[in-house]
Amino acid sequence: MLKQAIHKDGDFYLLNVRKIYTDNVYFGVTYTTFTPSSGILHQFLCKDRPLGDLSVVHNKDRFISSLVDKKQTKKQSDSEWLVFENLVTCRQEKQNFELPYDVYFCFNSENVYRYTLIDLKNGSSLRGLYSSNNEETYDWLLEEFNGWASRGAPSKELVISFVRDKIKSFSNNIISVSTDYSKIIIEHATQYEQEWSDIKRRRDGS
């Protein structure tokens, strides 16, 4: 599979780049990467982000160049990012918000708020509203998570807005279309069952 990767940089592989449409309107890009330490990761950026711009997504060289620039920016924040990504060291504290879902604030070993975990009544979970006291890292979080970040523990109102935004996004009719330069095709099982399946389109040569 790795031989079909779009781009390789050391032990980093770019496997697939796909355009995301909601209700037939271009919404952003999801790209899939692999490293031995992190495994396979799917990352999304909406269309108003530099890497999500459709003209960039269509151009393999521009996309790779923009992704390399983004990786360099991320390296500046990696040490702090790994702290609040490490679930083992995080303590969960349930909030008494009296909402139709359970809200947990997660703190690191130094009792500093890092992110929010939300358990919805349908059995699914949301995780987000990451926080940083470092201005540079906070700005990066805002860009990485499409404006959804926090300076310290978020307010009840911010949690409600975050959940509403995610539920609204989930309710849309979402399909993905791999770029022409993606040899590895990735799509959700429900999409494969439809006539507009990207895998079927490639297989049939249409």
Whether the pLDDT of residue 189 is over 80: the answer is: no
pLDDT score recorded for residue 133: 72
Angle 144-148-149 from CA coordinates, rounded to 5°: 85
Whether residues 90 and 166 share a domain: the answer is yes
To which H or E segment does residue 119 belong? strand 113-119
Indicate the SS3 state at residue 158: helix
Whether residues 88 and 40 share a domain: the answer is no
Which domain range does residue 187 map to? 2-75+173-204
Whether residues 117 and 37 share a domain: the answer is no
Whether the pLDDT of residue 99 is over 70: the answer is: yes
Q: Give one DSSP letter per residue of 164-182, joined into a string.
A: HHHHHHHHS-EEEEE-TT-
Distance of CA 6 to the CA centre of its chain: 19
* Residues forming beta bridges with residue 33, ordered by sequence position: 14, 41
Indicate the SS3 state at residue 130: strand
Distance CA 206, CA 195 (A): 12
pLDDT score recorded for residue 12: 87
Whether residues 160 and 179 share a domain: the answer is no
Whether the pLDDT of residue 118 is over 60: the answer is: yes
Whether residues 100 and 30 share a domain: the answer is no
CB neighbour list of residue 148: distance below 8 Å, 6 or more residues apart: 128, 129, 142, 162, 165
> 13-27: per-residue pLDDT in tens?
999 999 988 877 898
Whether residues 147 and 98 share a domain: the answer is yes
Whether the pLDDT of residue 160 is over 90: the answer is: yes
pLDDT score recorded for residue 122: 67
Split into its structural domains, the chain has a count of 2
Whether the pLDDT of residue 112 is over 90: the answer is: no
* Three-state secondary structure readout of 47-116: CCCHHHCHHHHHCHHHHHHHHHHHHHHHHCCHHHHHHHHCHHHCEEEECCCCCCCEEEEEECCCCCEEEE
> 59-85: per-residue pLDDT in tens?
999 999 888 776 655 544 444 444 434
Whether residues 98 and 153 share a domain: the answer is yes
Whether residues 161 and 88 share a domain: the answer is yes
